[in-house]
Structure 1
Amino acid sequence: MERAYIGLGSNLAEPAEQLRQALASLAQLPATRLVSVSSLYVSDSLLPGQPRYTNAVAALDTDLQALALLDALQAIELGQGRERHERWGPRTLDLDILLFGNRQIDEPRLRVPHSQMHLRAFVLYPLAEIAADLQLPDGSPLSTLLAACPFEGLERLTP
């Protein structure tokens, strides 16, 4: 089994409830076990004028291949009303594969580690909450990324 870390985000239609529903769906994926979930965090949108986001990170152990997991995540998003009209628009649910084992994947549909995770406190802090000693596939510790990404603008909601 591979350990996969999934970033969850929502800023529409009761975001905290959207994440709870997504976590229930993640727990039901075939050949997959939901291992742990971070607290929920709220942050401002990266783009002005959008509602605030609620985010979390989940750890999964899975026998699914990376692209099969991506397909399953996109099916969960679609089932919760995700519409893909614009890349950075508001959304009911966004599920991203942040890490997939120690693999580095660069395919047209999937890039792992997630290309922007090192810049996003709303990803790094929830990830550190459930995997404090994590090493990235390039060998760098998660703590190094945290040191360069301040907690500012995040609000932790629930354990």
Structure 2
Amino acid sequence: MNNAYLSLGSNIGNRLEHLQQAVQLLNEHPSINVSIVSSVYETDPVGLTEQAKFLNIVVKLSTTLEATELLSVCQSIENKLGRMRKIRWGPRTVDLDILLYNESHIQLENLIIPHICMQERAFVLVPLVEINKDVKNPITGTLYREELAIKEDGINLWKKIGRVEEFLRQD
């Protein structure tokens, strides 16, 4: 069984509903079990700053899928939920990024794990560390909670979450 952490974000329409739908679709996949969902954080956009704020979460899941197969599932969910890839770092209904996959270091043309920019993004590190304070960078061995971007500038707790089922029932 493989363990993975994914970052999910949304800043178009009903942001919370998009995140819930993505988690539900992940959990409905026969080879995926979402075991933990972080609290929901509202964050300032990165890159293209002239857009609405994001809601972001991190999930931990177990899967029998290989990393590239998991990437395909994530992209399929993005497409199903209306993700349009028009502008780099632009608005989106939902974005799913694989942050970590086991303790692997993967470098492919379409997939880099650990996620290439995660240590610079508080909107990734804060919810990641919330659900696992002892998670380490598989390349450096450094605890992510010690990374500089863990400074919580531009990230606000939007809704505290206790369990996956609770997250899926939120209104």
- For normalisation by structure 1, the TM-score amounts to 0.96
Q: In the alignment, what sits opposite 1:105?
A: 106
Q: In the alignment, what sits opposite 2:84?
A: 83
Shift of 1:158: 1.5
Query: Structure 1 residues 99-108 or 22-31, which shifts more?
Result: 22-31
Report whether the alignment pairs 1:14 with 2:11: no
Report whether the alignment pairs 1:3 with 2:17: no
Aligned residue pairs total 158
What are the residue-to-residue correspondences of 1:23-38 with 2, within 5 Å?
A: 23-38=23-38
Give me the whole-angstrom Cα distance separating, in 2, the residues matched to 1:122 and 1:90: 16
Shift of 1:30: 2.1
What are the residue-to-residue correspondences of 1:72-151 with 2, within 5 Å?
A: 72-138=73-139, 139-145=141-147, 147-151=148-152
Give me the whole-angstrom Cα distance separating, in 1, the residues matched to 2:50 and 2:143: 34
What percentage of residue pairs aligned between the two structures are identical? Answer: 41
Q: Secondary structure at the match of 1:81?
A: coil
Q: Secondary structure at the match of 2:68?
A: helix
Q: In the alignment, what sits opposite 2:43?
A: 43
Shift of 1:14: 1.1
Give me the whole-angstrom Cα distance separating, in 2, the residues matched to 1:30 and 1:103: 23
Query: Structure 1 residues 68-77 or 128-137, which shifts more?
Result: 128-137
Shift of 1:81: 0.3
2:12–2:93 contact (8 Å) kept in structure 1: yes
- For normalisation by structure 2, the TM-score amounts to 0.89
Q: In the alignment, what sits opposite 2:164?
A: none
2:32–2:62 contact (8 Å) kept in structure 1: yes
Shift of 1:49: 1.2
Q: In the alignment, what sits opposite 2:155?
A: 154
Give me the whole-angstrom Cα distance separating, in 1, the residues matched to 2:30 and 2:2: 14
Give me the whole-angstrom Cα distance separating, in 2, the residues matched to 1:157 and 1:42: 6
- AA of the residue aligned to 2:85: R
Shift of 1:148: 4.5
Give me the whole-angstrom Cα distance separating, in 2, the residues matched to 1:49 and 1:31: 38
Shift of 1:89: 1.1
Pair 77,148 (structure 1): closer, same or farther in 2 beyond 3 Å: closer
Moved segments of 4+, more than 4 Å: none
